[in-house]
Structure 1
């Protein structure tokens, strides 16, 4: 959307041989399931930087992705940086040799980072070359061969300072490709009474058997420990003893990898697959495990004619586990209903 601000309370004039400045900025942290997972850190405060003063800001608490390129995006808001005065800088420490990389974007340079420029995506009004004391920028940090931030990294540092111009930083934000556990379990109906089914609405009759197929994926960027599936049996069906079969498609096999049926858990019992550790996949479409089992639809008239009972067979299974790196728990995550 379009955001407009007016009537900002500011003061005109000079103090301590410098003019006042005024402006506004907005940072939005959002979630998009179609994008890579990122760890976002925001520092909201007030840092006054004067001549010949350098500062370091340590950043920790993130866990970068386990393999592949690490993408880094930085956002900065600051005030009082002058376009005509150089000597101010904003740097990030390189993990490859602990040296400092002076940052820049398309509207400034490494020796005059705070230069009253606004560098953001999308249109703005007014669109000025010199924003007279207001710096707002969002830009990608070059990270060739992960030399700045690498895989499995959990901390870094910023350094900023000046030898001529002075300025005020009031926001620093960093978004970085990170670990996240993302377990997906998809359930589908394989056949009814031995006959394969297609898509669309399916119907069954009393005493008919339904075979289900459960597929497991790790769509995250870290392994998942203590992965367990719980599948309560719908009250209108009964589990066919011995029909459960579990298969693992990776090596080494996880432990304990046990498949059991507990008749005392839930209204009609529950299937429990205690898998163990699920590794990350090179391709998120890789199936890590598969479970098949059969249910028989009840012929109990007392159940079928009960007006309070919905005549449907629905598998409402859940999965749980914990991220191997982050320790983020997955608790009672519902299965995805397939076709």
Structure 2
């Protein structure tokens, strides 16, 4: 799966004795118009051998000479020696403490160390100068190592620089500490050689002896390489610095080899084999410089928008082409995953130039039933099957992730219903806020709706909730209560009941449009099956009415049912509501003109 591959160095050993070795692996990569140089020096006064005095210095110097066009971008100090380690030294009088340490061993008694510190700022500030490492004290350590010729100490500075006169290169810095007791095979993957001119490979190696040259070879892709006159094919580790021509770096090597004849255009990997039939050699640093024009797609998720109760998430992202030597083409695919499941895809829109970026957004849908707290994985140069379509300078940096919390709306909470008196036709008037008496809220945070979809979309809000007429009985009302970052939902019913009617004491049927009929409040269109009986003072029935026939003072029943208006006087009524919840109402009503 290309997007989650790692640029690796595969280390395959033959016979191996080391007890503590750390694999040489990729430490840093530079893509652009880069190259490097290296300086350093030994602490050994003589090359190890029979009869050599068992002495060692605590300081030594070397000079850095860069051209005006060569601008420093990184500088790394490596130092190594016999013993368990001196990790605090001085460089031009400034205290240096190891950022990282390494160890290796021949056996329990012959242990070796190496150390690393990034000194970029120091080298940039001092530039071309004489550099002295001091306070590097091994004199009390080396005595047990001298009889076997394994006493050594030394240091090296690797300087990576940018020069606009250079072609576009990929420069890889690998480090660790591994010995070459018999054979060490290293495979460099993820190359894309477009031009093999001036291709090179360099090493920092410790404890090599010029006098030991038994099957001591360096091969690239099966070809033995050399760098005459400094490094014969049969004596690769012989105390030299290929950059300066120095031949007196006793028991250390700073070597670089031109390999343009050993690597071909189109190669995607290179095999390195180091052999030593007798000499104990430790590799601390390997640097390759290859002409390589490739993009390097990286992805960052810059933010997201999550809506309440919505499984759709808008992701804002940026695709970068920073550590690159070529354009990242348009339509480079992007895939988004959740728990290994592809949930969304996008792609770049335009060609992205070297050191440029492109920002965009996409909407993805989270599957139903997913936990509200989730992590979305984004992978650029991924066609949706975790496979890429573009060769890059670094296949290990395509992935990013974003933690997202879905805004889940809590379950609807049901509130007690509101009941009001039937005002007719099962309609009444409600103050909807009365349903919220049990809640702690601000009125401006509340809105009422007749439909859940309207609530979610905040449309068709009930505009006058203090004076609302129900549509049916019962009627449902939904409440949206703001509760950042989301909201809560409540519902309650509106219901009506028939309340006791209010019966007036009298009326005046004189057609003056004021109190012209026996207007019993809360009766008509409420108790629709009622019966109203009116009697005169002699007990004679003179009117019989119902929901469709109110009494306006006329006589419509009995022997005098002539439709005339009754005379002024007091009349007896019987109101049968025909409702099991109410008994009949009886009383007197006065008719006047």
Greater RCO (CA < 8 Å, at least 6 residues apart): 1
Query: What's the TM-score once normalised by structure 2's chain length?
Result: 0.29
Query: What's the TM-score once normalised by structure 1's chain length?
Result: 0.48
Structure number with greater Rg is 2
